[in-house]
C-alpha cells in the first residue's frame, strides 16, 4: 500500500485528514506534517523525515506527499526528498478534499506513488465548481434532467447496490460508495423527496461527475424494474428509510442485500450504534425484509468492517 503524507501551512493538513476520515473511514499509513509560524525549513524537513521513518520500510517505501501549495515551504522540503527517491516517492500540490478521497480510493488498486499522483489531477480540478456555474457549463440539474433514457438498450436494469441512508446523497455516498458500487446511475427512491423540488434539485447537483442522478417515488421504481428497455443501467438505489425499501421489495424490486448506512435519531428511537437509530416499527420492517430473503450489510463507508444488524438491535434493546 502506498503511504501518504499530508502536509500544509498550519493545521489545514490535520483538518482535511479528519474530513477525509469522516467520508472514507479511518485510513492506515497516513501521516500529517504541519508547518507552524515559529518553525523554519530545517524543522519542517525533520518532520518529513520522522513521518517517513514511521512507515514500514522507511525511505524505501512508496510515499506520496499531498501538499497544500505549489512552491510553498511544505512543497519545497517534500520536493527535496522526492528528488532523492525518484523511484518510490512522488508529490502532488493543491490539496483539496476530492483529491484526498480519490487518493484513498486509488491506493486500493495502485501500488505506485507516482501513478496515483498523476491520476489525482483531474479529480482535483473537477472538484472545483461554483453555484451559479460558469456560463459555458451545463448545470448538473440540466444534464441529469435531460433525456434519462439516453443510451439505454433492451434488457432489465441491474441493481449494483441498495443503501438505506437518511441523508441520501452526501459526501460519503458520492465519493466512497458510488465508486465502490460501480454504478452508472444513482436513483433516490423516496415519495417524500420526489415531491420536494428543492431537495430533489440539491440531490441532483450533488451527484458525482459522470454519474446521472434521478429522484423517483417508490411506485415508479417498481414500474421501472418491469421495463425491458433499461438494459445498460447499473443502478445504486438510495432509500431514506427501511419502510420505503420494504415497499419496493414487496412490489418486485429484487434486492438480495441492503447496505444499512445511516438512520437519523428522533424522539422515541434508540441508538443501536453511532449512526443508526430505530424504533420497534423499524425493527419490524427489517424483520419483514429478512423474511423476504434480504441480507443486511451494516457499514457507514466501504472500508468499515461489516456488523450484524440484528445483533446490534438485540444489544441496544430497542423498544
- What's the confidence (pLDDT) of residue 25? 84
- What's the confidence (pLDDT) of residue 125? 86
In a domain, 290, yes or no: yes
Residue at grid coordinates 423527496: 193
In a domain, 135, yes or no: no
CB 231 within 8 A of CB 156: yes
Domain of residue 40, CATH code? 3.40.50.510
| pLDDT tens track for 119-164 | 999 888 888 877 766 554 444 434 433 344 445 678 999 999 999 9
* C-alpha to C-alpha distance for 120 and 304, rounded to whole angstroms: 24
* C-alpha to C-alpha distance for 149 and 233, rounded to whole angstroms: 9
In a domain, 232, yes or no: yes
* C-alpha to C-alpha distance for 131 and 60, rounded to whole angstroms: 45
In a domain, 146, yes or no: no
The tens place of each residue's pLDDT in the chain, 319 residues long, gives 899 999 999 999 999 999 998 888 889 999 999 999 888 889 999 999 999 999 999 999 999 999 999 988 999 999 999 999 999 999 999 999 989 998 998 888 889 999 999 999 988 888 887 776 655 444 443 443 334 444 567 899 999 999 999 989 887 888 889 999 999 999 999 999 999 888 888 888 788 878 889 999 999 999 999 999 898 899 999 999 999 999 999 999 999 999 999 998 888 999 999 889 999 999 999 999 999 999 999 998 888 899 999 999 999 988 7
**109 and 167 both lie in a single domain:** no
- What's the confidence (pLDDT) of residue 5? 98
**Options 9, 45, 85, 265, the catalytic residue:** 9
- What's the confidence (pLDDT) of residue 220? 95
**214 and 292 both lie in a single domain:** yes
**181 and 260 both lie in a single domain:** yes
- What's the confidence (pLDDT) of residue 313? 94
- What's the confidence (pLDDT) of residue 141? 39
Q: Which domain holds residue 40?
A: 3-127
- What's the confidence (pLDDT) of residue 152? 63
User: Is 85 annotated as catalytic?
Assistant: no
- Based on its alpha-carbon atoms, the radius of gyration of the chain, rounded to whole angstroms, reads 22
**218 and 293 both lie in a single domain:** yes
Q: How far is CA 148 from CA 4, 220, 229, 253, in A?
A: 40, 14, 12, 20
User: Is 9 annotated as catalytic?
Assistant: yes
**190 and 305 both lie in a single domain:** yes
**162 and 123 both lie in a single domain:** no
Question: Could you give the number of structural domains in the chain?
Answer: 2
List Cβ neighbours of 286 (8 Å cut-off, separation of 6 or more): 242, 278, 296, 309, 310, 313
**123 and 169 both lie in a single domain:** no
**Options 45, 85, 170, 265, the catalytic residue:** 170
In a domain, 149, yes or no: no
- What's the confidence (pLDDT) of residue 303? 85
In a domain, 79, yes or no: yes
- What's the confidence (pLDDT) of residue 171? 78
Residue that finishes a domain, picked among 127, 149, 184: 127
- What's the confidence (pLDDT) of residue 87? 95
**169 and 225 both lie in a single domain:** yes
**118 and 45 both lie in a single domain:** yes
- What's the confidence (pLDDT) of residue 266? 86
In a domain, 139, yes or no: no
**250 and 293 both lie in a single domain:** yes
**200 and 122 both lie in a single domain:** no
Domain of residue 166, CATH code? 3.40.35.10
- What's the confidence (pLDDT) of residue 133? 63
**90 and 175 both lie in a single domain:** no
- What's the confidence (pLDDT) of residue 134? 52
In a domain, 152, yes or no: no
- What's the confidence (pLDDT) of residue 139? 42
Amino acid at each position: 500500500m502506498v503511504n501518504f503524507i499530508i502536509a500544509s501551512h498550519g493545521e489545514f493538513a490535520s483538518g482535511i485528514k479528519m474530513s477525509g476520515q469522516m467520508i472514507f473511514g479511518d485510513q492506515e499509513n497516513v501521516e500529517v506534517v504541519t508547518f507552524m509560524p515559529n518553525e523554519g525549513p530545517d524543522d519542517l524537513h525533520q518532520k518529513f523525515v520522522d513521518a517517513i521513518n514511521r512507515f514500514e520500510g522507511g525511505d524505501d517505501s512508496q510515499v506520496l506527499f499531498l501538499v497544500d501549495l505549489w512552491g510553498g515551504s511544505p512543497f519545497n522540503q517534500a520536493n527535496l526528498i522526492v528528488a532523492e527517491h525518484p523511484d518510490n516517492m512522488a508529490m502532488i500540490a493543491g490539496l483539496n478534499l476530492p483529491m484526498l478521497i480519490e487518493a484513498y480510493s486509488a491506493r486500493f488498486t495502485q501500488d505506485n506513488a507516482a501513478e496515483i499522483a498523476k491520476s489525482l489531477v483531474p479529480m482535483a480540478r473537477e472538484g472545483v465548481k461554483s453555484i451559479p456555474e460558469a456560463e459555458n457549463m451545463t448545470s448538473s440539474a440540466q444534464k441529469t434532467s435531460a433525456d434519462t433514457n439516453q443510451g439505454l438498450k433492451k434488457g432489465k436494469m441491474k441493481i449494483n447496490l441498495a443503501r438505506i441512508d437518511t441523508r441520501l446523497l452526501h459526501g460519503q455516498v458520492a465519493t466512497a460508495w458510488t465508486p465502490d458500487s460501480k454504478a452508472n446511475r444513482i436513483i433516490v427512491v423516496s415519495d417524500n423527496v420526489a415531491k420536494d423540488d428543492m431537495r430533489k434539485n440539491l440531490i441532483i447537483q450533488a451527484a458525482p461527475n459522470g454519474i446521472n442522478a434521478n429522484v423517483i417515488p417508490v411506485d415508479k421504481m417498481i414500474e421501472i424494474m418491469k421495463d425491458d428497455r433499461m438494459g445498460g443501467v447499473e443502478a445504486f438505489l438510495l432509500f431514506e428509510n427501511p419502510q420505503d425499501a420494504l415497499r419496493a421489495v414487496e412490489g418486485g424490486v429484487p434486492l438480495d442485500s441492503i447496505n444499512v448506512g445511516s438512520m437519523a435519531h428522533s424522539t422515541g428511537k434508540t441508538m443501536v450504534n453511532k449512526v443508526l437509530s430505530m424504533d420497534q416499527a423499524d425493527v419490524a420492517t427489517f424483520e419483514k425484509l429478512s423474511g423476504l430473503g434480504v441480507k443486511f450489510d451494516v457499514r457507514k463507508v466501504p472500508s468499515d468492517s461489516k456488523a450484524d444488524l440484528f445483533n446490534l438491535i438485540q444489544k441496544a434493546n430497542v423498544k
